[in-house]
Amino acid sequence: MSRTTTGADGTRPFDDEAVLLVGHGSRREKSNEQVRNLAVGLEERLGVPVDAGFLELAEPAIPEAIAGLAGAVSAVTVVPLSLFAASHVKNDVPLAVQQARAEHDGLTVNNGAHLGIHPAIVDLLDDRAAAIEAELGVDREADDVVAVVCARGSSDPDANGDVHKLARLLDEGRAFSRVEASFIGVTEPLLDESLHTVAKRRPDAVVVVPYMLGDGVLTQRIRDHADEFDEEYPYVDAAAGDPLGTDSRLLDVLGDRWQEARSGSVEMSCDTCKYKVELDGYEEDVGGARAMLRALTHQETHADREDVDDDPHTHDAPEKHVAVCTNQTCAADGAPAVLESLRQAVRDSEECDARVTRSSCLGRCGEGPMVAVYPDGVWYGGADEDDADRIVSSHLDRDRIVSDLVDQTL
């Protein structure tokens, strides 16, 4: 097959290139079909072949998808269907792209950016909020309406920061009395916390806008929280709306990301990327070598795709989850130092397999710092930095409860 030369702007003719739209992949085929439907829409929009590939849980994987396109075109542009740039966008997709470049001689593989912050997305969220207002029978121009943008939540502070930026942009120039950023998991503020805080303002209504692509488990969880809040606070009308879905405005964003990638003008936020700069609490994630190792490990985890239905997700959860209360009372008693001591002791240990995270409240004010170990259901009270080593060396390493620290067991 002959290879076509590039034009004056460095791009290729449309008949010699293709796009690979990369979704996360899901156990729910409905979510995978959403990616494929967007790929069809993007192909119609751009006038070039667009295939769908997946990071995990669904087929084809990125290497197979690129291999399927390699024989027909001389350039493939990979565009992640990801809302924010967390580890998948920063590690896994670039690794797959680099491997494809090595495996397919003569094939140009461009790596595009995530959806990110885009005017079309702000406009789409505004419409989702307006639909909830219509359902509740309120009008932000006449009533006191608060909007809460609820995202999935990430272990990447850069991605979480973009949620707050998106909420601020939704607030600018619109008649909401306030727009809050919130998360359904992983990081804070959690949706429940945000809703209860908003209730203190006694607004007429709260519209919860899920910042999700698909209508899956997390979206339903957001709706459930909104419904529970609506029942608990009868003086505030509240409801959650629909996710982004396959709205045509997403094609506007994906088209821009494709054009940026094929013309070599992709911009990524590196000033606050935990893989590029050292951020407090994320020191272990800094550095290209660590990021590459994480991506290689993750790729190997999902290497066996012969039948994803039999083993839809092979990530091994940690054996134990340690939650440290860092609410005001516990924080004043030294909880942040206990948290960091536990994390350091876990990193130093060669025996335990545990994840240590902060908790907003464990409901034992005045008895902290509180440390809860799951799935054991053991809560330690009044822990200090020196106790962190004991909790790790005895409980996490050898399953021996530190009895003199036990506050309660569940």
Average pLDDT of the residues in 283-296:
59
User: Which tens digits make up the pLDDT trace of 330-365?
Assistant: 888 898 889 888 988 888 888 888 888 777 676 777
Phi, psi (degrees; rounded to nearest 5) at 172:
-65, 125
How far does CA 64 lie from the centroid of its chain? 25
Q: pLDDT > 70: what percent of the chain?
A: 83
Token pair, residue 9, equals 């702007």
How far does CA 250 lie from the centroid of its chain? 18
User: Which tens digits make up the pLDDT trace of 223-246?
Assistant: 999 999 999 999 999 999 999 999
User: Which range among 192-196, 215-219, 313-317 shows the weakest confidence by mean pLDDT?
Assistant: 313-317
Residue ranges of the alpha helices (H) in 282-392? Answer: 288-301, 328-332, 335-348, 385-390
237's CB contacts (< 8 A; 6+ apart) are 136, 137, 138, 204, 205, 206, 230
* Pairing verdict, β 320-325 and 75-80: unpaired
357's CB contacts (< 8 A; 6+ apart) are 321, 322, 323, 324
How far does CA 226 lie from the centroid of its chain? 21
Average pLDDT of the residues in 399-406:
89
Does the structure show a pLDDT above 70 at 184? yes
Give pLDDT, residue 33: 94
Residue ranges of the alpha helices (H) in 172-271? Answer: 191-199, 217-232, 248-262
Q: 16 in helix, strand or coil?
A: helix
